Amino acid sequence: MAKYIPTIGLEIHAELKTATKMFCASKNDASEIRPNSNVCPVCMAHPGTLPTINKEAVRHVLRVGIALGATLADYTEFDRKNYFYPDLPKGYQLSQYEYPLVRGGSLSGIQITRVHLEEDTASSIHDEKTGATLVDYNRAGVPLMELVTEPVIHSAKDASDFGRELQLLLRTLGVSDADMEKGNMRLEANISLSDTEELGTKVEIKNINSFRAMERAVEYEIKRQTKMLENGEKIIQETRGWDEVKQATFSQRVKEGSADYRYFPDPDLPSLQLSEIREFAHDALRSTISELPWQRRARYVGFGIKLEDAALYVREPGLGSFFEEVVGAFGGDAERIKLASNYIANDLVNLISSNKASSDRRDRSGRDTIYRDEITISAGNFKKIISLLGDKKISSRAGKDILAMCLLNEEDPEDVARKKGLFQDSGDVAGTVSSIIKANPTVVANFKAGKTSALEYLVGQGMKALKGAGDPVALREAIERALK
Ligand SMILES: [Zn+2]
C-alpha cells in the first residue's frame, strides 16, 4: 500500500488594530455592536468618493515583515479583486496582487510566501425569523492582513502550532488582537496528499474558527483523502467547510482560479515607493519592535527553566510578568529561579485555577488565562517561600500550604511557618526517628532482613508523628541512617 505524505499550506487573515479603516476615516472598532454606525460615503462606495491609504496599517504589516526576517517591498500598489457579493459595496475588494508589502521570511521554521494588506468585507447576518440576510458594514474596509505560507507543513499539529505562534507574534507587536472567537483572526488550510515528489491536488478548508478545529479538520481531511486515493478515486480541487457538530469537512464549492477575479491596479490610489516615505523608514520601524516571543523563550530557558514553562510564561502575560518580577527578586541566582519556576508553573497555577474555578473570569474566552492581578502574593514574599524551601527549612508540603495561605491573605511567609509550626526542626526529626524505631521492632527487623517496603511504613509513621510537617525525603534519609 502506498504511503501518502500530507502537505499543508496556510492562509491566515488578521484584522489590524488601527484607529480608522483602511481607506477612509470611519472608526475601526470591532467592539461596536450597533450595525452600520461606523460607515461613511467612502466605505459605502458612494459615487465620486476617493480612498486614501492608512499608513498605520502599512506600518503594522511592515513590522510583521521585519519580525519574520522577510524582504520588505520598496514598490507596492493596491489592486482591485473583482467579485460581486452583498458584503462588498464597491463590487471589488482592494487587495494586493503583484506587489505584496512583504515576501519571504519564516516563523517556527516554516517559510512564508507573502504578507499583504487588503480590506475586510461587511458581515452578513442571517435572520432566522424572517429568513432575510442582513448586512452590517461596520467591518467593511477594516484593514486586513493576509499571510500565506509555503506548502511545507506536514502535520495537523505543526499547522496549529504555527497559527498559535503567529497569534502570539501579532499580539506582541500590538498589530492585532488576533482573537479567533471574535473573528479577528481567521484560518484557511490547503491540504494535498502525494506519494511522489510532486504535490497532489489541493483541497482548501475555510471557516476554521479555532486552532483545535484546524487540527481536527486537517486530520479529518488527511484521512478522507488517504481513503479516496487508496480506493483509486480522484481528489477534486474544491473548497470545503468544517462542521463542528459532525466533526467533518463538507464540500462548499469547486475552486475558481485567480483569473476569475480580473485583478488590476486600482486607479484611484497612488502606487507607493516606500523608501521615499518617512513613516516607513526601516530603521525607525525596527526600533519599535521589542523582544519577540521566541527571543523571550530563549532568555527564560537561559535561566535553566523547562522550555514548556518558558512557553507558558510567554503565552500567558500575567504569569510572565510575575515570573519576571521573581527573577528580578532573585538577581542572578539560577538555582533558585529554577526552583521558583517549578512552583509558579505547577503549584501557583493550580492554586489560582482552583480558586477561580467558579468565578466568571475563567471561561470568558474559553481559556484558563491567569491575570496578573489574580496572583495576590508579592514577588518578595514568593521569594521568601522559595528561600525557605531551598534552605530546607520547610517541607515541600509546607511550602504549598504557605503559598495557599499567602494567596488568600498576604502575610509574611516566615510568620505563617512559625504560627502554623511548619518549620522543620532537625531535633524533632531525630526524636521522631528514634521513637518510631523503638515502637516498631518487628518492622525494623523486617527491614534489616531486606524487606524494603518496611521502610515506607516507618516513613509513614514518622510523617504522622510530625503531623505532615516533615520532609519525607529527609525523614527517609534519617531513618536509613539510624538503621545502618
Ligand atoms: Zn468609511
Q: Which amino acid is at 147?
A: L
Residue 100's pLDDT is 98
| Ion ligand 1 neighbours, Cβ < 5 Å | 24, 26, 40, 42-43
Burial class of 12 by CB neighbour count within 10 A (0 to 12, 13 to 18, 19+): buried
Please give the distance, rounded to the nearest whole angstrom, from the Cα atom of residue 32 to the centre of ligand 1: 14
User: For the residues of 12-49, what is the DSSP string, one character each?
Assistant: EEEE---SB-SSSSSB--TT--STT-S--TTTTT-TT-
Please give the distance, rounded to the nearest whole angstrom, from the Cα atom of residue 24 to the centre of ligand 1: 5
| Rounded Cα gap, residues 217 and 404, in angstroms | 41
Please give the distance, rounded to the nearest whole angstrom, from the Cα atom of residue 215 to the centre of ligand 1: 37
pLDDT of 258 over the 60 cut: no
Residue 478's pLDDT is 79
Beta carbons within 8 Å of 272's beta carbon, 6+ residues apart:
53, 58, 75, 76, 77
Please give the distance, rounded to the nearest whole angstrom, from the Cα atom of residue 77 to the centre of ligand 1: 20
Please give the distance, rounded to the nearest whole angstrom, from the Cα atom of residue 399 to the centre of ligand 1: 58
Please give the distance, rounded to the nearest whole angstrom, from the Cα atom of residue 31 to the centre of ligand 1: 16
Cell 506582541, residue located: 172
Please report which confidence band the pLDDT of residue 431 belongs to, taking 50, 70 and 90 as the band edges. Answer: confident
Taking the chain, what is the end-to-end CA distance rounded to the nearest angstrom? 63
Ranking 226-240, 246-260, 401-415 by mean pLDDT, the lowest is: 246-260
Range 126-138 burial, b when 16+ CB lie within 10 A, else e = eeeeeeeeebbbb
- Listed as own residue / partner, the contacts of 229-234 with beta carbons closer than 8 Å and 24 or more positions apart are 229/2, 229/4, 229/193, 229/195, 229/200, 230/1, 230/2, 234/201
Please give the distance, rounded to the nearest whole angstrom, from the Cα atom of residue 23 to the centre of ligand 1: 7
| Rounded Cα gap, residues 265 and 288, in angstroms | 31
User: Which of 216-225, 390-399, 436-445 has maximum average pLDDT?
Assistant: 216-225
Q: How many CA atoms lie within 13 A of 462 on its CB side?
A: 28
Please give the distance, rounded to the nearest whole angstrom, from the Cα atom of residue 133 to the centre of ligand 1: 22
Please give the distance, rounded to the nearest whole angstrom, from the Cα atom of residue 426 to the centre of ligand 1: 75
Contact yes or no for 244/288 (Cβ under 8 A): no
Contact yes or no for 155/12 (Cβ under 8 A): no
Beta carbons within 8 Å of 159's beta carbon, 6+ residues apart:
8, 10, 153, 189, 214, 215, 218
Please report which confidence band the pLDDT of residue 401 belongs to, taking 50, 70 and 90 as the band edges. Answer: very high
Please give the distance, rounded to the nearest whole angstrom, from the Cα atom of residue 181 to the centre of ligand 1: 25
Please give the distance, rounded to the nearest whole angstrom, from the Cα atom of residue 114 to the centre of ligand 1: 27
pTM of the model: 0.83
Q: Which CATH architecture has domain 426-483?
A: Orthogonal Bundle (1.10)
Ranking 3-7, 283-287, 330-334 by mean pLDDT, the lowest is: 330-334
Please give the distance, rounded to the nearest whole angstrom, from the Cα atom of residue 264 to the centre of ligand 1: 22
pLDDT of 380 over the 50 cut: yes
Please give the distance, rounded to the nearest whole angstrom, from the Cα atom of residue 46 to the centre of ligand 1: 10
Please give the distance, rounded to the nearest whole angstrom, from the Cα atom of residue 325 to the centre of ligand 1: 44
Please give the distance, rounded to the nearest whole angstrom, from the Cα atom of residue 21 to the centre of ligand 1: 7
Please give the distance, rounded to the nearest whole angstrom, from the Cα atom of residue 27 to the centre of ligand 1: 8
Please give the distance, rounded to the nearest whole angstrom, from the Cα atom of residue 22 to the centre of ligand 1: 9
Question: Which residue, 12, 109, 25, 105, is CA-closest to 63?
Answer: 105
Please give the distance, rounded to the nearest whole angstrom, from the Cα atom of residue 145 to the centre of ligand 1: 18
Please report which confidence band the pLDDT of residue 426 belongs to, taking 50, 70 and 90 as the band edges. Answer: low
Cell 491567569, residue located: 370
Angle between helix axes 307-315 and 156-173 (nearest 10 degrees) is 50
Please give the distance, rounded to the nearest whole angstrom, from the Cα atom of residue 119 to the centre of ligand 1: 11
Cell 494586493, residue located: 96
Please give the distance, rounded to the nearest whole angstrom, from the Cα atom of residue 43 to the centre of ligand 1: 4
The predicted-structure confidence for 91-141, as pLDDT tens digits, reads as follows 999 999 999 999 999 999 999 999 999 999 999 999 899 999 999 999 999
In the chain, where the domains are located: 5-285, 293-419, 426-483
Backbone φ and ψ of 394, nearest 5°: -135, 160
* Overall average pLDDT of the 261-278 stretch: 95
Residue 366's pLDDT is 42
Contact yes or no for 476/441 (Cβ under 8 A): no
**Count of positions (residues) in the chain:** 484
| C-alpha torsion sign, points 324, 326, 327, 328 | positive
